[in-house]
Structure 1
Amino acid sequence: MSEPEHRRVALGPEALVERLDRALARALPDISRSRLQDLVRAGHVRRDGSETRDPALKVGPGHVLDLRMPEPVAAEPEAESLGLVIAYEDDDLIVIDKPAGLVVHPAPGHEAGTLVNGLIAHCGASLSGIGGVRRPGIVHRLDKDTSGLLVVAKNDRAHQGLTAQFADHGRTGPLERAYLALTWGIPEPRAGTIDANLARSQRNWEKIAVVREGEGRRAITHYRVEASPDREGLVALVRCRLETGRTHQIRVHLAHRGHPLLGDAVYGGAFKTKAARLGEDARAALHALGRQALHATLLGFAHPRTGETLRFESPLPPDMVALVAALESRA
């Protein structure tokens, strides 16, 4: 076994007096601050020769910090060849066009067959430890039954850069996320912004709910009606752009406005009877869809190493195309 990598940081007279994790992150920009905090807590950092496990410990001019990187630990999930659809890949990141039904990372009840399992098989040991062994390289996620684009980091520098962009929600950079959804009814006005805080439902912990201002976390969705595939205006094709990225945000916001997604059993169950008003072919296509009609169609961001703006688009997947076609054939 090789010797663990040793990194030494000598803080000069110009150094700030600040937290240990901040000083390390400033000196070692290739390692994310969250990982540095984990390394400190695990006893891999010494200040002036003495071990410390406190990321908040104050350090300043004259201190010498030693970091011994542990040997890479294999990610717990096993490698599985899943035939991932890759939209883009380089040494720093990989963009996946995720199919509906694929869970992003292992969780109770989904220990295998996840995107992480497929990524480990495709990328090998390069993902180990980045973002944690259960979620290596994962920067953001899509619900199991939402299809479309997501980006995964392949090293710490990329993980840190991409995470910062997603935390900033595109306010100061080129991050873009857009989705296509099929909703019950046509939202009015046909273009607008939904600004409503979200939090876990007090009645059902598995659901997200709109809460009063001052509670939960702020969530902002910009939407625009692209078309109404059917003659009666029962269904709309809506393009949604996220300004924030909360759990189930689009699904909850549109349901809150009275326009839940087709196929959404969690937030649109009360609209099941509307399916009876669709034509036979459209009802069959909706049944075949078997999920919420939501697709991550656009993803743009700055490359964490080069700064180049990357932008990817994914067309509607076959199951949503079939549903739109069935609705249009009745028009």
Structure 2
Amino acid sequence: MSADLVENASDEDDLFEHYRIVADKGQSLMRLDKYLNLHVANASRTKIQNGIDAEAVRVNGLPTKASYKVKPFDVVTLSLPQPPRDTEILPENIPLNFVYEDDVLLIVNKPAGMVVHPAFGNWTGTLINALVYHFQQLPTGRNGEGRPGLVHRIDKDTSGLLVIAKTEFAMTFLASQFADHSIERTYHALIWGEPKVEKGTVTGHVGRSARDRRVMDVFVDGSQGKHAVTHYEVIKPLRYVSLIKCNLETGRTHQIRAHMKHIGHPIFNDPMYGGDKIVRGVSSGSYKAMVENAFTFIPGQALHAKSLGFIHPTTRKWIQFDTDLPENFQAILQKWENYVNYQ
């Protein structure tokens, strides 16, 4: 029986392969590592063992050892780094803001406007181009290609924290946490309007729009897309806009952006989801001039990946990182506070 590819735990560029295998009713007892070597194409013994050690391999929902004997009807799930897609990544001397570094991982504070990895239309100037300049031998999946160290991603015009793996084991261990949604990710966003509920949850499948494949739509009936859950809390209401905190249960492409638009509060200056025009207030006079000036402060949506928490691959202890809002984001907030206070 061949492995079935199942829904990615994170849509943040499909960086990992996620498998679900159900053992046949006639399956003879076989060591787990040997069973996976037979059923997962192009996975080396080392990669399989790393997955088992990192608890990225589970049998009937529980982590287990390589020596476990697979038996009929066992359900085996695993997450492994995706094979590479890019043939060459050019090192570029681009300064990066490192929040933390140890032997197995890095935490980077990415600026808005920087693409995370090379792809069509953005082959240079990316975070990955910078990483391969500053670090040698980051894990890639195979043959020194792929997306070195990349465990997840954030959009080009979203700023904030990213975890980068420095070893193959760390990459697999972190992937497992993204797969079971135990990674804690908190974003701050400036949205249009004031939500009626100060603390709420947006639930709705997120999938590509039939009108524009670059944009994600929300399908509440679950007919399309993938399950997505965003928890939000209003931090500072400012009449026309609000600063909110969002915690992700899932990591779908454009999840916060799509969910906020869905509930009628698109992110300020988000060109793909209707936030780059005046959504609240009049479209004339000094107010219009103030808003249009505020749009020039940032390259796109006012969204910042503010905090990141996870279990460390080596120490197995919880670690947490936090970063301040970028200066231009803070300047926009100050601009809105001044405007509201003097009206």
Query: TM-score scaled to structure 2, two decimals?
Result: 0.73
Mind listing any 5+ residue stretches in structure 1 that lack a counterpart? Answer: 1-12, 34-57, 59-73
Answer yes or no: is the 8 Å Cα contact 1:84–1:98 preserved in 2: yes
* Secondary structure of 1:288's aligned partner: coil
- Residue in 2 that maps onto 1:266: 272
Answer yes or no: is the 8 Å Cα contact 1:32–1:159 preserved in 2: no
- Residue in 2 that maps onto 1:252: 258
What is the identity, as a one-letter code, of the residue corresponding to 1:292? Q
- Matches of residues 137-176 of structure 1 in structure 2 within 5 Å? 137-170=149-182, 175-176=183-184
Q: What do you get for the CA RMSD once the two structures are aligned?
A: 2.7
- Residue in 1 that maps onto 2:59: none
Q: CA separation of 1:130/1:85 partners in 2, compared to 1, >3 Å: closer, same or farther?
A: farther
Please state which structure has a larger fraction of its residues in helix: 1
Answer yes or no: is the 8 Å Cα contact 1:103–1:143 preserved in 2: yes
Aligned partner of 2:203 among 195, 204, 207:
195
Answer yes or no: is the 8 Å Cα contact 2:192–2:279 preserved in 1: no
What is the identity, as a one-letter code, of the residue corresponding to 1:287? T
* Secondary structure of 1:180's aligned partner: strand
Q: CA separation of 1:18/1:125 partners in 2, compared to 1, >3 Å: closer, same or farther?
A: closer
Aligned partner of 1:136 among 141, 145, 148:
148
Aligned partner of 2:128 among 116, 127, 130:
116
- Matches of residues 227-242 of structure 1 in structure 2 within 5 Å? 227-228=236-237, 230=238, 233-242=239-248
What is the identity, as a one-letter code, of the residue corresponding to 2:159? S
Q: Distance in 2 between matches of 1:148 and 1:303?
A: 19
Answer yes or no: is the 8 Å Cα contact 1:130–1:156 preserved in 2: no
Larger displacement relative to structure 2 (13-22 or 186-195) = 13-22
Q: Cα distance, 1:272 vs. partner?
A: 3.4
Q: Cα distance, 1:309 vs. partner?
A: 1.0
Q: How many residues align?
A: 273
Q: Distance in 2 between matches of 1:75 and 1:89?
A: 27
Answer yes or no: is the 8 Å Cα contact 2:191–2:244 preserved in 1: yes
Q: Distance in 2 between matches of 1:274 and 1:290?
A: 21
What is the identity, as a one-letter code, of the residue corresponding to 1:247? T
For residues 20-73 of structure 1, give each alpha carbon's deviation from its aligned partner in whole angstroms, at most 9, with x where no partner exists.
25797787666458xxxxxxxxxxxxxxxxxxxxxxxx9xxxxxxxxxxxxxxx
- Residue in 1 that maps onto 2:64: none
Aligned partner of 1:81 among 89, 93, 96:
93
Identity of aligned residues (%): 41
For residues 299-328 of structure 1, give each alpha carbon's deviation from its aligned partner in whole angstroms, at most 9, with x where no partner exists.
001111221211000111011101001111
Q: Distance in 1 between matches of 2:208 and 2:170?
A: 31
- Residue in 2 that maps onto 1:95: 107
Q: CA separation of 1:27/1:264 partners in 2, compared to 1, >3 Å: closer, same or farther?
A: closer
* Secondary structure of 1:19's aligned partner: helix
Aligned partner of 1:304 among 289, 298, 313:
313
Q: Distance in 2 between matches of 1:293 and 1:19?
A: 44
Q: CA separation of 1:86/1:270 partners in 2, compared to 1, >3 Å: closer, same or farther?
A: closer
